[in-house]
Amino acid sequence: MQYEVTATRRRPKTFDELAGQEFVATTLTSSLESGRIAHAYLFSGPRGCGKTSAARILARSLNCEKGPTAKPCGACTNCQEIGRGASMDVIEIDGASNTSVNDVRQIKDEVLFPPNSARYKVYIIDEVHMLSNSAFNALLKTIEEPPPYIVFILATTELHKVPATVKSRCQQFAFRLIPIETIAEILKKTCVEMDIDADAEALFWVARESTGSLRDAYTLFDQIVSFSDGRISANVIKEKLGLVGIDNLNALAVACVENDVAKAFGVVDERLEAGVSIEQFTIDLAGFYHSLLLIKAGITKESLLQNALERFPIKVLETLNASQIERALDLLLELYRSIRYSLSPRFELESVVSKLCILDKWVSPLELRAAIAQARSAITASTGVQVPAQQKAFSSTAEENSLSVDFRRYIANRNPPQEQTIHPDVERVLRVFRGTIVK
């Protein structure tokens, strides 16, 4: 059989298989079971979260021979034709390449004809925000009052570009990013189905890199499977894709808190020699310190920490406080902004790593102020002398008054400013001008 990518092969076929979109699945299921079928739907949300899949499931549910039903059989002729994309009554239109009024006019002419063999004629317009304003206006009347056998399903990743006149004529469903834990669990089931051995850490990394998009996760998963020889491990991913890895980040952070600049530079050199880009190194290191900051705040959720809690070094957490970790993040974020225009990005990275090696000695302004206040309180408690919060500019009132007298004497004795002379011609003009005004 011809090879089929995982994202296409594992595309959901029922609402129960639609991952991470419980609200959408529940609402559409209830509307189908109660027979309250709208004439237009608007699906919005990030890429790869199931908008087009939900549209096809809805089309299959409407046209199933046992339907309309929330659970299409998948065995009848209509279900199979819609699954293959060969149904004459389910028309998928790419909004990015059909943006003109003429394209919409063709739809307006086609809706006058009833479906060939199915119950409903369904139009799925993907990336609908790409339509022109004229095309949207031409489509308004058709969307508002279509024939009873027509259903429009509009999908977009940029809801703000869809006119309010179109939104008001559709039932809107907002698709959300899929949780990392859900994606990791789906990838685990995919590995079992494909008879692939995979580390939990590797699958979690794929889920995290997908940033909530299941399609992106499947695409990255296929790439990793192609070079893993049936065994997906975090070490293989780190070597092939040029990643720093949590172990190397731990080694670098420990070397920094031990003030071992040579060891820290050694870790940096080893990773750069292995093919890790300076930008990727900076991103991974910033993410590592961000996770440390979350741990300091009491957060232990694995999806936020990007790794299991026990993977982070205790020595670093005990040595650095929250303000010092924030200082490290500031340095790394500034490094990432300056790398693009730097004369030598590697020098910039090594300079920041050198600063991280003395991070445990850095004191924030707030901590310095608190230490001064504490020292002032200690001196007052031990000596009984009240130390003022701000010293005066002069040590005594007599000295202040003496300086004031000297300053006033200087003002009184200085030479008065000379009067400004006026050119005779200018004075004559002014005299004439004054006489004219008087008259």
The domain 180-241 is placed in CATH, from the list 3.30.1050.10, 1.10.8.60, 1.10.10.10, 3.40.50.720, at: 1.10.8.60
Pairwise pLDDT comparison (416 vs 355), residue with the higher score: 355
pLDDT confidence bin for 388, thresholds 50/70/90: low
* pLDDT the model gives residue 394: 45
The domain 246-361 is placed in CATH, from the list 1.10.490.10, 1.20.272.10, 3.30.160.100, 1.20.1560.10, at: 1.20.272.10
pLDDT > 80? residue 423: no
Pairwise pLDDT comparison (390 vs 241), residue with the higher score: 241
Average pLDDT over residues 382-408: 56
In whole angstroms, how far apart are CA 399 and each of 13, 124, 338, 387, 392? 90, 88, 52, 21, 12
pLDDT > 70? residue 318: yes
* pLDDT the model gives residue 393: 46
* pLDDT the model gives residue 334: 92
Mean pLDDT of the chain: 83
* pLDDT the model gives residue 370: 80
* CATH 1.10.8.60 domain extents, the chain: 180-241
Average pLDDT over residues 398-422: 57
Q: Are the C-beta atoms of 84 and 58 separated by less than 8 Å?
A: no
* pLDDT the model gives residue 424: 64
pLDDT in tens, 193-231: 888 888 888 888 888 888 889 999 999 999 888 888 778
Q: Which CATH architecture has domain 6-174?
A: 3-Layer(aba) Sandwich (3.40)
pLDDT confidence bin for 73, thresholds 50/70/90: confident
Instruction: DSSP for 322-355, please give it.
Output: HHHHHHHHHHHHHHHHHHTT-S-HHHHHHHHHHH
pTM (2 d.p.): 0.70
pLDDT > 90? residue 427: no
* pLDDT the model gives residue 265: 93
* pLDDT the model gives residue 98: 79
Contacts 24+ apart (CB under 8 A), 199-203: 199/232, 199/233, 199/234, 201/234, 201/307, 202/232, 202/233, 202/234, 202/236, 202/237, 203/232
Average pLDDT over residues 158-175: 92
User: What are the E-state strand segments in 231-314?
Assistant: 231-232
pLDDT > 80? residue 186: yes
pLDDT in tens, 251-294: 999 999 999 999 999 999 988 888 888 998 899 899 899 999 99
pLDDT winner (highest mean) among 242-251, 253-262, 381-390 = 253-262
User: CB count, 10 Å around CB of 406?
Assistant: 9
Q: Which of 63, 66, 65, 54 is nearest to 29 (CA)?
A: 54
* pLDDT the model gives residue 310: 81
CB-neighbour burial class of residue 12 (10 A; exposed 0-12, middle 13-18, buried 19+): middle
* pLDDT the model gives residue 381: 74
* CATH 1.20.272.10 domain extents, the chain: 246-361
* CATH 3.40.50.300 domain extents, the chain: 6-174
* pLDDT the model gives residue 375: 77
Cα atoms found within 13 Å of the Cα of residue 212, Cβ hemisphere only = 12
Alpha-carbon distance of 233 to 175, in angstroms, equals 32
